[in-house]
Structure 1
Amino acid sequence: MASAEKGAEAFRRACVSAELRAFQAKASSPVTKWLRALARFTHAESGGPGVGAIGMCFTGNFALTMMLEPVMLAPVLSQPSLPLNDPAGLEISPDELAAVRARLERDDLSVLAYRFEGDQVCRAERFAAYAAKLGDQFVGRTLPDTAANMDTPPFFAQHVPFPHSVTTVNLIDSQGEPTAEARDEIIAFFKQRLSSAAENP
């Protein structure tokens, strides 16, 4: 497992990466073009009704931008954290966001999103901005901080000492726990969306 120091160094590199644009609102990260191509390639290679994706933290919003690719059917945003310096900012260009909303409405699709109430990186302002831009197609879930597992690895204990990672580091994998229910809802969302698409091509 990476030390807190190695994790911090990786975080610093990600912050300045031109592919991620960690501090730029109203612009899509260049890496999303590659991810859309990957979804298209994978779908062509593997077949099936389409693709689902979950983005987390730095990559949290990427699943939304991937909706510009027609094979992408089930986007999940987990604690979407970019841009880092604007709590209400959205890491997607306005024209692409408008195109995504149009597609969600046209194809009767939805976006699932998750955050903890006290997350200091993915704050309530961001979910409010998503809801304002995407309307009823945005389904945001805010979990109480008491639902988070705070027995975390060194990097998180030192640099992210608040509830943040809904389905990974802060997950409590026990029946009835809100984080476990969120994980199960995501899996059910993927199954339902992809099986529905298969039945109604």
Structure 2
Amino acid sequence: MGLLDSWTPGSHTADGVTHPTYRKGSGPGVVVIHEVPGITPAVIAFAEEVVARGFTVVLPSLFGRDQAPATVRESLRSLAQVCISREFSMFALGRTTPVAAWLRSLARELHAELGGPGVGAVGMCMTGGFALAMLADAPVAAPVLAQPASPAPLGRARSADLGLSPGDLESVKGKVAAGCQVLGLRYERDPATGTRFDTLRRELGDNFIAVEFPGRKHSTLTEHRQQEGVDRVLAFFEDKLKPASDHQPDQASSP
């Protein structure tokens, strides 16, 4: 039995671009954006935990082979696919990744169907900053940035860049100033995240919540999973997306 067999396959189209999706669960909506190399078993396992906490999870398949393991070969295959795609910008400064428009459309559709204060969004690694890009122009109420690694941290400027256009950055800052919190997770010595957490603290102030772990590992929610990190994300979603009466008191408290 495949790991995605219990998920409902579908697709979403925006501006002529279509990507497959997988959906499962009930309750408020959460978009889980996979990391390189794709929707790996560890990404699916994390998504299953979100479902189990009472959320409707949509997994978009943006690149890579669904359910393939996170091997070096699969990562190189995915990166080759990403590098030739016009939907992704891995090196540009001060630019929002083009695929953000598709993700925003997906979030709007999910929110229109399910209602509530908004949807949750979590990006990982290369897609880590995509949740922030979604916040700029979509009904996202709980954005999570797991080890944001784009643009590639080559040089001081790229290491600090948030992968947002100036207009999108101002929109994000406005929503954060109005009360929206942003949760970020990383290993303290992960070189892929560059100095972005410093930028996030400077630009977003106290409404940026940093969860940092010692060490030089990378994937906080999947391959190098930290249970505390997973618990903080689940509690964040509960706090931001569910009425207080629906919270599960036996789980970790919100950040």
- Shorter chain as normaliser: what TM range? 0.7 to 0.9
Give the structure-1-normalised TM-score. Answer: 0.80
Paired position in structure 2 for 1:159? none
Aligned partners of 1:76 and 1:111 also within 8 Å: yes
Return 5+ residue gaps in structure 2 as ranges: 1-67, 247-255
In structure 1, the residue corresponding to 2:164 is in which secondary structure?
coil
Which residue in 2 is equivalent to 1:129?
199
The answer for the alignment partner of 1:98 in structure 2 is 170
Aligned twin of 2:240: 193
Alignment of 1:108-187 (within 5 A): 108-123=179-194, 125-145=195-215, 163-171=217-225, 179-187=226-234
Contact 2:145 2:184 in 1 (8 A): yes
Instruction: Give the deviation of 1:111 after TM superposition.
Output: 0.3
The 5 Å alignment of 1:3-22 reads: 3-22=71-90
Q: Give the AA of the match of 1:101.
A: K
**Could you tell me how far 1:95 is from its partner in structure 2?**
1.6
Q: What is the identity, as a one-letter code, of the residue corresponding to 1:19?
A: E
Shift of 1:80: 0.4
Distance in 2 (alpha carbons) for counterparts of 1:95 and 1:68:
9
What is the distance in 2 between the residues matched to 1:198 and 1:55? Answer: 28
| 1:73-84 matched pairs, under 5 angstroms | 73-84=141-152
Any conservation in 2 of the 1:49–1:198 contact (CA below 8 Å)? no
Structure with greater strand share of residues? 2
Residues 27-106 of structure 1 mapped to structure 2, 5 A cutoff: 27-84=95-152, 85=154, 86-106=158-178
Structure 2 length normalisation: TM-score?
Answer: 0.64
Deviates more, 1:185-194 or 1:94-103: 94-103
Q: Which range is displaced more, 16-25 or 108-117? A: 16-25
Q: Note the C-alpha offset of 1:198.
A: 9.9
Q: Which has the higher helix share?
A: 1
Between the two structures, name the one with larger relative contact order (CA 8 Å, sep ≥ 6). 1
Taking only the aligned residue pairs, the percentage that are identical comes to: 38
**Cα distance in structure 1, aligned partners of 2:126 and 2:83:** 9
- Give the aligned residue type for 1:122: T
Contact 1:60 1:78 in 2 (8 A): yes
